[in-house]
Structure 1
Amino acid sequence: MEKVIVTLQHADADDAWCTALRTDVVEGLLALDLPGVAVNVRDAPVRDSMMTLTTLNPAVAGVVGLWTQQYYGAQLTDALALLRKTSDAVAAYLVTESVPLAPPVTAPGERTEGFANVALLRRPADLDRDTWLRRWHLDHTAVAIETQSTFGYTQNTVVRPLTDGAPRIDAIVEELFPLAATGDLHAFFGAADDADLGDRMNRMVASTSAFGANVDVDTVPTSRYEFRSPFGGAR
């Protein structure tokens, strides 16, 4: 089984668009019998989050996670055809998934608590892939969990893009935070006071700088909805 992540760029991604994506569009995706379907949308609860960085135009407003038996099969072809009808630009990426901190299990279609911050990372040109992966996966993972109020952490390493003209992205990270973290740095970092906040931020910046995640990055605050898990009830 393989995982594909689809980014949706859309200039007019209002709440009506977000609702249609996680209702009508998801109904069509589920009808394709995909083993796994999850949708992240930048809707009203998270739209004004201070944790937003954008390099793409239009910005990414939705992220769809799909599990399929074959990335080159009819299921994914039909899924992409459906998603292309929703957005200004659609890009799909074949990924490998690592889950250092599993998200909470929710009922199908129920909004996951808090919010999901989705980061689109690019590997710096002066870092070879092995060094980049080691610094990200082996060095940074523990720092990210220790310094932030994260309660779910999924790392998707891009194998290759599957659509023509897809923006260059090397990794797609999803971290779950309390909803208060959309507007409060103390809540985002889980800091007890200003001194603790400064220490956590300094550790985080030093760690992300080591593998280039401090520049040329998009961060998309989203509401997360899982509709079908390829792992059943146990994630």
Structure 2
Amino acid sequence: MEKVVAVLMAADRDDDWCQRQRGPVAEAILELGVTGLTVNVRDAAVRHSLMTLTTLDPPGAAVVSMWTQQCYGDQIAAALEVLTAECDALAAYLVTESVPLLAPLELGSRTTGLANIALLRRPAGLDRGTWLQRWQHDHTQVAIETQSTFGYTQNAVVRPLTPHAPELAGIVEELFPVEAITDLKAFFGASDDTDLQQRLSRMVASTTAFGANENIDTIPTSRYVLKTPFNS
């Protein structure tokens, strides 16, 4: 089985558009027979998140994750055609998924809290092996220990599946309590200002080691797991 992550880039999309992505558009993709489907949308519930960084133009407005038997087959080609019609630009990637922290499954409804998605780029001075070591082996536990995450998924990009897709090395999804949308202490799980600064310092040192302190997009989303290949 393979996982495909598609980033829908679009400017000024409202909540009607977001509902369409997790409603009729998701249904059209499910009808193609994908093994799993998760839709993340940047809607009113999360749009004002403090932890938002944007380099893409237009910015990321939704992220759709699909599981399939064949990323290069007709099924995914049809799904990407559906998604292309919904946005200004579409970038899709074949990824390998790692889940250091398994999230509670809320199938068919909005996942509790904030789903923050980060688009990572590998600095030119780091080879892929070193970058993966620093991201997955060195940074993973730091991210879990310094933030209030209750779900953490890492997607290492294998290759792009659409023309002109921005070059990405990784796509991360972290789940936070709803308070983290507007409260930095809640985002980092800090008890006070001193604790917050200590957590921030540790986090920045760790992300700097693999270049995730700059040239990064973070997309706040509401997450909808509509079909999973792993649980009934």
Deviations 1:85-123 (A, max 9, x none): 10000111000000000111113x200000100000000
Report the residue type matching 1:41 in the other structure: V
Distance 1:131 1:84 in 2: 34
Using the TM superposition, give the Cα deviation of residue 28 of structure 1 relative to its aligned residue in structure 2, in angstroms: 0.2
What SS is found at the alignment partner of 2:167? coil
Q: TM-score of the superposition, structure 1-length normalised?
A: 0.98
Distance 1:161 1:90 in 2: 11
- The aligned residue for residue 171 of structure 2 is 172
Distance 1:150 1:66 in 2: 23
Distance 1:120 1:212 in 2: 12
Distance 1:105 1:47 in 2: 23
Runs of 5+ consecutive residues of structure 2 not aligned to the other structure: none
- The aligned residue for residue 72 of structure 1 is 72
Runs of 5+ consecutive residues of structure 1 not aligned to the other structure: none
Q: Does 1:199 align with 2:172?
A: no
- The aligned residue for residue 6 of structure 1 is 6
C-alpha RMSD of matched pairs (Å): 0.6
- The aligned residue for residue 125 of structure 1 is 124
| Structural mapping, 1:35-184, within 5 Å | 35-107=35-107, 109-184=108-183
Deviations 1:7-33 (A, max 9, x none): 000113110100001001011011011
- The aligned residue for residue 232 of structure 1 is 231
**Could you list the runs of 4 or more consecutive aligned residues of structure 1 that deviate by over 6 angstroms after TM superposition?**
none
The percentage of aligned residue pairs carrying the same residue is 63
Report the residue type matching 2:67 in the other structure: W
Distance 1:170 1:7 in 2: 14
Using the TM superposition, give the Cα deviation of residue 168 of structure 1 relative to its aligned residue in structure 2, in angstroms: 1.0
- The aligned residue for residue 215 of structure 1 is 214
Distance 2:217 2:14 in 1: 19
